């Protein structure tokens, strides 16, 4: 009496057979879509191609898999490739947007004068070897620095207030902060325009722009810092208090050091958000092609604003400069972002 030899079942998620089926259906889908586009052609453009190709791919893959699987297994495989396809679509689009911007701006980035000159004397048809975006870089730096000088102390201390105290007042402040994150950035800009510029009489300037950015960034930073502080383990706080430390010492020596990298990440990511804001700056900063070092006196542009203006120009050279400014902005945001992530990662390593 001998038992039939047991065959070990393959439970791995990705099997060679599936990969072959995937590759085959992908190739078939691309081919079919191409045929439809080349001969039947009811619509055109890469978006139509991707949409039709994706649908065809799913259909072909389902057919292939159903040859050697049944009901639930087919649905499982189909769901897996559909979900993966959606994820790749999102990533592909993101890479496309970032790549398109940097690629289009590359021509202006190759000229060193792009970073050392402003656009004051640049004519519409001047070549790219004349004029640059120094004024916008300076404006961005000054405006974000001023906004951070306001937001950083106010935001972090307010977040500490929200996590370290209890009571009706705390709850009320938390609710209001939460509400203010819903404030559209253009409305923040309109508020500063109507209050500081029209009522108080501050000129359209870098200062007004930085105030608009502050109004917009404050709730974002508070929320992010609040989240980071709240995940500091309660046992750490209690241990410190049990040792007889005052709540001031507990916060300063236990809570804040524990959350330091998380707070840094929150602030850096908030800064990246603030840097890219165009609409509040559009309303409050005015527009100039000159380098303006003093943010309190007269218009001062920033990178997103100069991008926005140059892109709408009918002249090709100006549009290329606009792409260049967008590429610089994108690179700054990506660099800030990577720094933020690296700072955040050290926390996990501990």
Among 30, 85, 313, 331, binds other proteins (CB under 8 A): 85
91 binds other proteins, rule: CB under 8 A: yes
Q: Of residues 204-223, which lie at the interface with other proteins (CB under 8 A)?
A: 215, 218-219, 222
Element (H, E) at 16: helix 16-35
User: Is residue 334 involved in binding other proteins (CB under 8 A)?
Assistant: yes
255 sits near other proteins (criterion: CB under 8 A): no
Binding of residue 79 to other proteins (CB under 8 A): yes
What are the respective helix, strand and coil percentages of the chain, to the nearest 5?
Answer: 75, 0, 25
| Among positions 147, 162, 209, 328, the unique one binding other proteins when judged by CB under 8 A | 162
Q: Which of 17, 169, 294, 316 binds other proteins (CB under 8 A)?
A: 169
Pick from 190, 333, 223, 321: which is nearest to 275 by CA?
333
Distance CA(292)–CA(206), nearest Å, equals 9
Residues numbered 124 to 153 that lie near other proteins (CB under 8 A) are none
Is 177 a binding residue for other proteins by CB under 8 A? The answer is yes
Nearer to other proteins, 1 or 281 (CB): 281
71-109 vs 16-35: helix crossing angle, rounded to 10: 60
* Distance of closest approach, residue 72 Cβ to other proteins, in angstroms: 5
Q: What is Dmax (Cα atoms) for the chain? A: 100
CA distance 164 to 202: 38
Residues 95-114 that bind other proteins (CB under 8 A): 96-98, 100-101, 104
Q: Please report whether residue 247 would count as binding other proteins according to CB under 8 A.
A: yes
Piece of the chain touching other proteins by CB under 8 A; list 53-61, 121-129, 133-141, 177-185: 177-185
Angle of helix 71-109 versus helix 316-349 axis, rounded to 10:
120
Q: What is the DSSP string of 245-273?
A: --HHHHIIIIIHHHTHHHHHHHHHHHHHH
Interface pick for other proteins out of 20, 27, 55, 198 (rule CB under 8 A):
198
Binding status of residue 157 toward other proteins by CB under 8 A: yes
Residue 46 lies near other proteins (rule: CB under 8 A): yes
> Residue 298 burial by CB count (10 A; 0-12/13-18/19+): exposed, middle or buried?
middle
Instruction: Give the residue, chosen from 19, 20, 31, 76, that forms a contact with other proteins under the rule CB under 8 A.
Output: 76
Determine the size of the site formed for other proteins (CB under 8 A): 103
Annotate 232-266 with b (16+ C-beta within 10 A) or e (fewer).
beeeebeebeeeebeeeebbeebbeebbebbbbbb
Among 58, 134, 241, 331, binds other proteins (CB under 8 A): 241
Instruction: Indicate the residue among 27 and 73 with the shorter CB distance to other proteins.
Output: 73
Measured CA distances, 347 to 85, 159, 231, 292 (Å): 33, 19, 12, 40
Which positions from 2 to 41 touch other proteins by CB under 8 A, shown as an x/- string? -----------x----------------------------
Q: Is 346 in the site for other proteins (CB under 8 A)?
A: no
Positions in 256-315 near other proteins (CB under 8 A): 269, 272-273, 275-279, 282-283, 304, 307-308, 311-312
| Nearest-angstrom CA–CA distance, 234 and 85 | 42
């Amino acid at each position: 009496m001998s038992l039939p030899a047991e065959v070990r079942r393959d439970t791995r998620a990705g099997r060679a057979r599936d990969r072959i089926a995937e590759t085959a259906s992908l190739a078939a889908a691309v081919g079919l879509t191409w045929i439809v586009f080349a001969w039947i052609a009811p619509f055109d453009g890469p978006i139509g191609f991707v949409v039709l190709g994706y649908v065809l791919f799913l259909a072909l893959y389902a057919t292939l898999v159903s040859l050697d699987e049944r009901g639930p297994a087919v649905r499982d495989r189909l769901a897996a490739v559909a979900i993966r396809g959606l994820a790749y679509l999102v990533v592909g689009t993101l890479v496309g947007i970032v790549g398109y911007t940097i690629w289009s701006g590359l021509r202006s980035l190759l000229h060193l004068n792009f970073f050392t000159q402003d656009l004051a004397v640049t004519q519409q048809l001047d070549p790219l070897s004349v004029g640059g975006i120094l004024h916008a870089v300076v404006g961005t730096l000054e405006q974000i620095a001023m906004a951070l000088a306001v937001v950083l102390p106010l935001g972090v201390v307010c977040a500490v207030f929200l996590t370290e105290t209890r009571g009706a007042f705390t709850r009320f402040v938390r609710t209001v902060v939460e509400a203010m994150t819903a404030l559209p950035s253009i409305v923040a800009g309109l508020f500063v325009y109507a209050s500081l510029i029209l009522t108080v009489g501050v000129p359209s300037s870098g200062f007004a722009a930085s105030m608009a950015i502050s109004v917009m960034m404050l709730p974002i930073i508070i929320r992010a810092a609040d989240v980071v502080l709240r995940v500091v383990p309660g046992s750490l706080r209690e241990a410190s208090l049990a040792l007889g430390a005052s709540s001031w010492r507990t916060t300063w020596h236990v809570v804040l050091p524990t959350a330091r990298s998380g707070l840094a990440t929150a602030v850096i990511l908030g800064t990246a958000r603030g840097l890219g804001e165009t609409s509040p700056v559009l309303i409050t900063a005015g527009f100039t092609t000159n380098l303006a070092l003093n943010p309190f006196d007269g218009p001062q542009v920033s990178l997103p604003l100069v991008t926005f203006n140059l892109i709408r120009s009918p002249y090709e050279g100006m549009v290329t400069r606009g792409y260049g400014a967008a590429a610089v902005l994108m690179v700054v945001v990506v660099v800030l972002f990577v720094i933020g992530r690296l700072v955040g990662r050290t926390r996990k390593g501990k």
